[in-house]
């Protein structure tokens, strides 16, 4: 029985197996741990992009601090409420040539500047809209506004006046305002008016030779020739202006025609 106990032990030794107590247990090709150093940052997974919170290029540009801003860089620089169009000398030369063809009497003046972006780079005083038709009182507007007014007067207002009973000739158009640095409807807050950049004119009344003056007023349902005249000139105005407002549009336009040349997306025109 003693021999049977020794024989298995000798077999184990002769096989060359090292018992755990005799040395460290070998490992099979262990993978070294990644080394983290200051010069090699640990790569991280890129989080999914949140489009709702990612600022666009325009937003980023809007947040650039102005040269006058000495406070926090996060404070956006104040922006004007409206931007006066730049003066294009080639376009102005063409505009002036078209005005002369219609017999307009005008004068280019010095640039106008105001707060909140108000101003006109190249303002014009228009004394006669077309030949023998005056504009009163003195005015300041962009050349493009003056040309729209002249073309409307020539192709719409003069023919409408000629259709009045008896022999009638248009002699004067009276306005309430052209360039004025103010907000829409003279409000204390809100968007700036097109008047603030010389894009608009408010027509108050028409004067004639051979007929009493026709003021702009609520005439719907009057059934008079004066109502017909006002409807005709108002309707034709939207062929030359992109905004036409008047009596019935709102309380602020009950006594005049607001005409302006604002540019809208897709060439949209507002005729009310």
Give me the percent of the chain exceeding a pLDDT of 70: 71
Strand partners, 209: 169
Residue 13 pLDDT > 70: no
Q: Is residue 43's pLDDT more than 50?
A: no
Is residue 143 in a domain? yes
Confidence of residue 121 (pLDDT cuts 50, 70, 90): very high
- pLDDT at position 74: 54
Is 145 within a domain? yes
Residue 80 has a pLDDT of 63
> Where in the sequence is the domain holding 154, given as residue range(s)?
89-271
- C-beta neighbour count of 197 within 10 angstroms: 26
Q: Where are the beta strands (DSSP E) in 64-188?
A: 105-108, 112-113, 119-120, 124-130, 133-136, 169-177
Over residues 126-169, the pLDDT tens digits come to 999 999 999 999 999 999 999 999 999 999 999 999 999 989 99
Per residue in 218-248, pLDDT (tens digit) is: 999 999 999 999 999 999 999 999 999 999 9
Q: Which of 21-30, 85-94, 183-192 has the highest mean pLDDT?
A: 85-94
User: Does residue 60 lie within any of the structural domains?
Assistant: no
Q: Round the average pLDDT of the chain to a whole number and report it.
A: 79
In a domain? residue 79 = no
pLDDT at 3 over 70: no
pLDDT bracket for residue 1 (50, 70, 90): very low
Contact (CB, 8 A) for 131 and 103? yes
Q: What is the pTM of this model?
A: 0.71
- Is the residue at 76 inside a domain? no
Higher pLDDT, residue 205 or 75:
205
pLDDT of residue 75: 54
Q: Specify the pLDDT at position 72.
A: 40
Say if 13 falls within a structural domain: no
Of 206, 225, 59, residue with least CA distance to 135 = 206
pLDDT at 106 over 90: yes
Question: For residue 76, what pLDDT is reported?
Answer: 56
Give the CA radius of gyration of the chain.
40
From residue 12, give the alpha-carbon distance in Å to each of 3, 4, 5, 8, 235.
Answer: 15, 14, 12, 6, 114
pLDDT at 176 over 70: yes
Q: Which residue has the tokens 């005056």?
A: 134
**Average pLDDT of the residues in 98-111:** 98
- Mean pLDDT for 246-252 is 94
Q: Is the dihedral of CA 116, 122, 127, 129 positive or negative?
A: negative
* Domain assignment present for 263: yes
Cα(260)–Cα(237) distance, rounded to whole angstroms? 10
When divided into structural domains, the chain yields a total of 1
Residue 62 counted as domain residue: no
């Amino acid at each position: 029985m003693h021999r049977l106990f020794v024989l298995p032990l000798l077999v184990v030794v002769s096989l060359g197996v090292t018992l755990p107590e005799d040395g460290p247990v070998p490992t099979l090709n262990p993978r070294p741990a990644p080394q983290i150093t200051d010069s090699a940052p640990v790569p991280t997974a890129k989080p999914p992009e949140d489009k709702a919170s990612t600022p666009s290029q325009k937003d980023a540009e809007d947040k650039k601090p102005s040269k006058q801003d000495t406070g926090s860089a996060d404070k956006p620089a104040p922006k004007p409420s409206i931007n006066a169009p730049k003066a294009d000398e080639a376009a102005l030369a063409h505009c002036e040539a078209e005005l002369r063809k219609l017999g307009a009497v005008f004068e280019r003046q010095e640039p106008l500047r105001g707060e909140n972006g108000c101003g006109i780079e190249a303002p014009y005083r228009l004394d006669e809209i077309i030949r023998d038709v005056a504009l009163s009182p003195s005015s300041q507007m962009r050349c493009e506004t003056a040309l729209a007014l002249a073309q409307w007067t020539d192709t719409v207002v003069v023919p409408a006046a000629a259709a009045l009973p008896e022999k009638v000739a248009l002699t004067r158009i009276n306005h309430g305002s052209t360039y004025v640095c103010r907000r829409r409807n003279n409000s204390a807050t809100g968007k700036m008016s097109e008047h603030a950049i010389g894009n608009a004119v408010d027509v108050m009344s028409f004067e004639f030779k051979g007929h009493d003056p026709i003021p702009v007023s609520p005439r719907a349902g009057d059934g008079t020739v004066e109502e017909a005249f006002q409807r005709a000139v108002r309707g034709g105005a939207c062929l030359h202006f992109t905004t036409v407002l008047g009596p019935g549009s709102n309380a602020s336009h009950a006594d005049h025609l607001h005409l302006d040349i604002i540019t809208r997306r897709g060439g949209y025109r507002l005729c009310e």
